[in-house]
Chains A and B, each alone.
Chain A
Amino acid sequence: MPKHEAIDQASQNDNEDVWIQSACGMCYNQCGIRGHRVDGTLIKIEGNPDNPIGRGRLCARGLAGIQLLYDPHRIDYPLRRTNPEKGIGVDPKWERISWDDALDEITERLATIKENDPRGLYFSGTVICLAPLSHALATFLPAFGTPNSFVSDGHQCGNAEHILARTLHGSVTTNPDVEHCDYLLLFGCQAGLGTYYALTTMAQDVADARDRGMKLVVVDPFLSSAAEKADEWVPIKPGSDGALACAILNLLVNEYRIFDADYLLEHADGPYLLTEDGWYARDPGSNRPLVWDIDAGKPRPFDDPELGQVALEGAYQVEGQTCRTVFETLKGTVAKWTPEAASEVTTIPPDMIRKIARDFGEAACIERTIEIDGRELPHRPAAALYFKGAHGHDNAWPTSMAIELLNEVVGASNVPGGLLGTTPVCDGHPDTGFPRWKPGANEDGLLDAGMLLYNDPYGVVPGWPPPPTDTELPNLRDLIGWPITTCFTPAALTDKENFSFDHKPELLLNYGSNLLMSAARPEVTFEAFKDTFVVSFNLHSDETAEALSDIVLPDTSYMERLDPLPNFTRHHHPVGLGNWGHTIRQPLVEPLHERRHFTEVLLELGQRLGLTETMNLLTNNLYGLVAPHALDPERTYSWREISDQAYRSWFGDEHGLDWFETNGVMRWPKKVEEVFWKPFVHARAPLYNEWLKRAGEQVDEIVEKKGIKGVDTSGFFPLPDWRPCRAHRAREGYDMQAIYYRVPWHTFSMTYENPWLDEISRGEPYSYFICINTKTARAKNITDGDPIEVEGADGGTIRGRARLTEGVHPEVLAVANNGGHWAKGMPFARGKGVFFNQLLPMDLEHSDLVSLSMDCDARVRVTRMAEGA
C-alpha cells in the first residue's frame, strides 16, 4: 500500500469527532494527553488538564507526536533482510514478508534455543517504552528462561542515582519538593526546566516556586535550558561535581557546623560506630550495629530500648578498638576537600564554593517545622539534585553520594522542601487499598524499599543488594546486580579474552531501542551481535535495524496501542502533594497498516512456545493481581482481557477497562504520610555503605578466581569522595573535554526524524552545532560556523560546525543529544546534528563499576577543517 493511503485507511469512519484520553510516549514521562480524532484521523494532541501527570501541559515533543503517527517513513510491514552482508552503513535490502512467515521463523528459532540453552536469547529494550519493557522483562523472558536482558539506553540512564534513590529514598528516582523549597541546587540536571522526570508537572511547579522567590543555582559546564533560567549559573569542569559537593559537605559539617543532628541521629546511621577496618561495630549477641550510649558510657545496639542519649560525633573504645561514629568518619573523609582544593579540580573560585555552601545550609533552616493538614513536620526548604551531567562519568558513585549527602546532613530528605523519593509510599486507592507499598527497615535498621521496578507485593524482603556470585552473564548482573539498568552487554561480549562465557547470543530480540546509536561507539555493539540472528521491533528502519537486523517487525507507536498502566511503577509520577494519577494509554487510532503492539506479539509467541501458563503466573506477580482477578494459569487471555483484570484488581469491578477507556485517569488525593514519609517510617538512611565494602571484597574474590582483568573495585568506597574520571587524565595533545547535553525537545536519538522538532532545532542556534567557548575558539583560530573535527584520545572522531558561545566552559566542547543519524530509513533525521557517542568507548576502564555507569565525556582535541573537507 502506498504511503499516502495511511490517511485514507484512517479516514473510513466518517462523521466522527471525538476526544480520547491517553498518555504521551515521546519520552518516559507518560504525561496525560487528549487526542482529537475526526473521521478516523488524529488531527491534534493536547495536554489533559484532568490528569495529574502534566496537568494539561505538554512539552514540544508531546505536541509533535502526531508527526510520528503519520510519518511516511515508519515501518508498516514485517521485513526480512535479503542482503547476507551485515555492517554499519550496509543496505539490508529489505523485502516485505507476512506476519505469519515472520513469527513462524522466530518461533522455530526460539524453540531450538529454548531446547538447547535458553540463555541464547538476548533482549534489549528502551526505558522510553516502560510498560511493554517491564512486561517483557517480568513475564516473557523469565518464562523463556533467559537472564540476558539489557537496556540499551542504560548509559543515558540514572545508574548511580537509581541506587541511591533506593537506599536513601526508598524509590528509583527523586525530585525536589519545590512547593516548599527556597533554594534548589542542580548539578548537571534540568529538573522542571528542561528535561528530567515528571517534566511538565515540575515545570509548572518550578515556575510557581520561582515566582514565590525560590532561588535556583545550576552547576553545569554548559549553559543548559536550566542554567539559562537560573539565578546563578556555575560553570564547572565536567566530571568534577563530586569535588564541589565534597567541599560543600566539608564546609557544612566541619566549618559552619550546619547539620541536622536530630535527623542524623534518628533517621540515618550517623551514630553507628565503625571499627578501625571500616565495618559497623556489632553487638556480639544480636549482631545489631552498635551506637555509643553517652549516659551509660558504653556501646549498645541501635534499637536497644534502654538507650540513653546517643553520640553523633566522636570516637569511643569498643572491645579494644577505637570506633568512630559514621558521622565523625564522614567529617574526617571530606575534611581534605577545602574550597581551595575543590577549586583546583572544578575551576570554580573558592569564594563561590563558600557562598553556595553557606546559602544552601542557611536555606535549609535546621529546626524549622511546618504544619500541613494538621501534621507538624520538619521543614527543610533546600534541596540538591543531580543527574547525567554530574554522574555520567566513571566516578559516578562517589560523586552521586557526595551530592545526595548534602540533603542528608541538613535533614532535607523526604520532608517538606527537600529532596523526595518518587512515590516510595502508597497506601492505595481509598476504596480498594491497591496498589500499596511502603519502605521498611532491614535488620540493621536501614531503609529498604518497598516496590521498585516491578510490583513486589512481598514488600521489604531480605536479599538486597544481591551478592556478587559469578561472571557468567554479559550484563554483569551476577557480579554487579544492584544497578537497575546497564548497557554493558556488548562490551562484555566483545571482551572475549577476558570474559569467557559458556553461551553466546543466538537470537537478539531488540525492542524499540536503537542500540547502535545509544550504547556508545556503534562498532562495539555491531561486533557483539554481528553473528547473532537479530529481530527488531521498530518504528523506523534505524541504524541498528539496517546494520544488524535479520527481521524487522513494525511496532505500534504510543498512539496506536493499549498499555493499561503505562506508568504503573510511577517512577515518573510527580512528587509532592496533589493527586495520584493512574492513566490509561489507549489507541487514538487503530494501528495503521500491519503495525502490531509488542506485548500482544509476545503473548502470541508465548503461546506458540508453550509459555502461557508461566507467563500468566508472572503477570499476576507483575501487577499484583489478586482473586478473583488473578489470571488462571490454564487459560489464554487477550491483552484487553489482561488489562481489564489489572484495572479491576487494583480499582474494583466498577473500574474495569471500559471505565478507563471512557474516563482516562483514576485520581485520588495523596496523603501527607505518603509524600513526606520520613518522619512516619522508622528506617534509617545509610550515609555509610557498608554493603558496598562487602560487595567490593566479594567481587575481588570472584574475579581473581576467574582471572578476569580490569575489574577495579577501588571505587567501591562506602563514603563520598572524589576521584578524577578517565577524561581528566592528561593525554598529550588532547587539551579539551567533550560532553553531550540534553535539549528539551529531543529524546535521546529517537525523535530526530520528527519534522516539527527539527524545525525547533533549526530555529535555535546551538543544537545542530558543536559549541565551543569564544575565547578558546579564537586561540585555536576557529571562527563561528567553521567546520571542525573533534578527535578522541581514546578513539572516535566527530565532525560538525563550530558555534562560538560564552555559554560553555572554556575547556569543553558541547554537543546536543545524539543526532547525526545515517540510516537510509530515517531520511529526515539523516545528517542532522552530531553523533556524540562515536567518542565513547564501551569497556570496563571507562565505566563506574559500582553503578555500571559509563563515562559520557571524552578527552579530545579539536581542529578546524578546510571548508568542504
Chain B
Amino acid sequence: MDVAVKIQGVLDRSLAGCKNQFDLTLPNDATAGDLIGRLAEQPDAPLRDAIDPGQTRFPRHIRMFSNGEMLSTLGQPLVRQDGLGVNVNIVILNPMMGG
C-alpha cells in the first residue's frame, strides 16, 4: 500500500534540516512499528533516534495518526480495512509541555 507520511513538530527548530514528507510503499499489513523502521532508514528523517526498537509503545512525545486516528502501540496496523493508501501524520510534541 502507498503511505503518505507527514511529520510535524512542536519545535519547528527540532526539524530544521530534516525532510518532513515521505511517500513510501509498505506491505498491506504494515504496522506503526514497520513504518517507524522504514523511516529510520531514511537518512534525512527526523525520527531516527526518537524510538528505541525495543519499545512496544510510543514515547509520550510522539503521536502517530493513521487517517486521523491515533495509534496506541507500535504493533497496531496502519490500515484496518481495505488496504487502500493511507495518510500518516506524526506529531512530535515537546516532552516538557505542561501547565
Q: What chain A residues lie within 8 Å of B87 (beta carbons)?
A: 633
Contact with B along A621-647 (1 / 0, CB 8 A): 100111100111100000000000000
Q: Nearest CB to that of B10 among chain A residues? A: A142
A122 to chain B, nearest CB (A): 13
Contact with A along B40-84 (1 / 0, CB 8 A): 000000000000000101111001010111101100000000000
User: B95: CB under 8 A from chain A?
Assistant: yes
A114 to chain B, nearest CB (A): 8
B99 touches A151 (CB 8 A): yes
User: A463: CB under 8 A from chain B?
Assistant: yes
User: A466: CB under 8 A from chain B?
Assistant: yes
User: A147: CB under 8 A from chain B?
Assistant: yes
User: B8: CB under 8 A from chain A?
Assistant: yes
Given contacts A462-B57, A614-B8, contact A630 B70 (CB under 8 A): yes
B63 touches A617 (CB 8 A): yes
Given contacts A614-B8, A617-B91, contact A147 B97 (CB under 8 A): yes
Given contacts A462-B55, A484-B98, contact A147 B65 (CB under 8 A): no
A617 touches B68 (CB 8 A): yes
B99 touches A149 (CB 8 A): yes
User: A145: CB under 8 A from chain B?
Assistant: yes
User: B12: CB under 8 A from chain A?
Assistant: yes
What's the tally of chain A residues with a CB closer than 8 Å to chain B? 52
Q: What chain B residues lie within 8 Å of A473 (beta carbons)?
A: 96
A139 to chain B, nearest CB (A): 11
Contact with B along A299-319 (1 / 0, CB 8 A): 000000000000000000000
A458 in complex: contacting residue of B57, B89, B99, CB < 8 Å: B57
**Bound form: Cα–Cα A565–B38 in Å:** 38
Given contacts A142-B10, A616-B68, A633-B65, contact A149 B95 (CB under 8 A): no
A456 touches B60 (CB 8 A): yes
B75 to chain A, nearest CB (A): 13
Q: What chain A residues lie within 8 Å of B65 (beta carbons)?
A: 617, 620-621, 630, 633
A614 in complex: contacting residue of B73, B91, B94, CB < 8 Å: B91
User: A453: CB under 8 A from chain B?
Assistant: yes
Q: What chain A residues lie within 8 Å of B72 (beta carbons)?
A: 457-459
What's the tally of chain B residues with a CB closer than 8 Å to chain A? 29
Q: Nearest CB to that of B80 among chain A residues? A: A627
B98 touches A621 (CB 8 A): no
A558 to chain B, nearest CB (A): 19
Q: Using a CB-CB cutoff of 8 Å, which residues 1-55 of chain B contact chain A? A: 8-13, 55
User: A133: CB under 8 A from chain B?
Assistant: yes
A141 touches B96 (CB 8 A): no
Contact with B along A446-481 (1 / 0, CB 8 A): 000000010011110111101001000101011001
Q: What chain A residues lie within 8 Å of B99 (beta carbons)?
A: 125, 127, 133, 137, 149-151, 154, 453, 484-485
User: A704: CB under 8 A from chain B?
Assistant: no
B91 touches A137 (CB 8 A): no
User: A618: CB under 8 A from chain B?
Assistant: yes
**Bound form: Cα–Cα A621–B93 in Å:** 11
User: A117: CB under 8 A from chain B?
Assistant: yes
**Bound form: Cα–Cα A484–B97 in Å:** 10
Q: What chain B residues lie within 8 Å of A154 (beta carbons)?
A: 99
A117 touches B13 (CB 8 A): yes
User: A118: CB under 8 A from chain B?
Assistant: yes
B92 to chain A, nearest CB (A): 9
**Bound form: Cα–Cα A138–B70 in Å:** 15
**Which of A141, A147, A150, A617 gathers most chain B CB within 10 Å?**
A617
A147 touches B55 (CB 8 A): no
Q: What chain A residues lie within 8 Å of B98 (beta carbons)?
A: 137, 149, 453, 475, 477, 481, 484-485
**Bound form: Cα–Cα A458–B59 in Å:** 9
**Which of B58, B65, B96, B99 gathers most chain A CB within 10 Å?**
B99
B21 to chain A, nearest CB (A): 13
B57 in complex: contacting residue of A119, A453, A461, A626, CB < 8 Å: A461
Q: What chain A residues lie within 8 Å of B10 (beta carbons)?
A: 142-143, 145-147
Given contacts A457-B72, A632-B68, contact A142 B12 (CB under 8 A): no
Q: What chain B residues lie within 8 Å of A620 (beta carbons)?
A: 65, 68-70
**Bound form: Cα–Cα A246–B60 in Å:** 36
Given contacts A147-B10, A620-B70, A633-B65, contact A461 B95 (CB under 8 A): no
A150 to chain B, nearest CB (A): 7
B63 to chain A, nearest CB (A): 5
Given contacts A145-B10, A456-B60, A462-B59, contact A630 B68 (CB under 8 A): yes
A463 touches B9 (CB 8 A): no
A618 touches B91 (CB 8 A): yes
**Bound form: Cα–Cα A89–B24 in Å:** 61
Q: Nearest CB to that of A616 among chain B residues? A: B68
Q: What chain A residues lie within 8 Å of B58 (beta carbons)?
A: 458, 461
10 interchain residue pairs of minimum CB distance:
A477-B96, A147-B94, A630-B69, A151-B99, A630-B68, A142-B10, A461-B57, A485-B99, A627-B69, A463-B60
Which residues of A does B touch, CB under 8 Å?
114, 117-119, 125, 127, 133, 137-138, 141-143, 145-147, 149-151, 154, 453, 456-459, 461-464, 466, 469, 473, 475, 477-478, 481, 484-485, 613-614, 616-618, 620-621, 624-627, 630-633
Contacts A459-B57, A466-B95, A613-B89 supplied; 8 other A-B pairs, CB < 8 Å: A114-B12, A146-B10, A147-B10, A457-B72, A477-B98, A617-B65, A620-B68, A630-B67
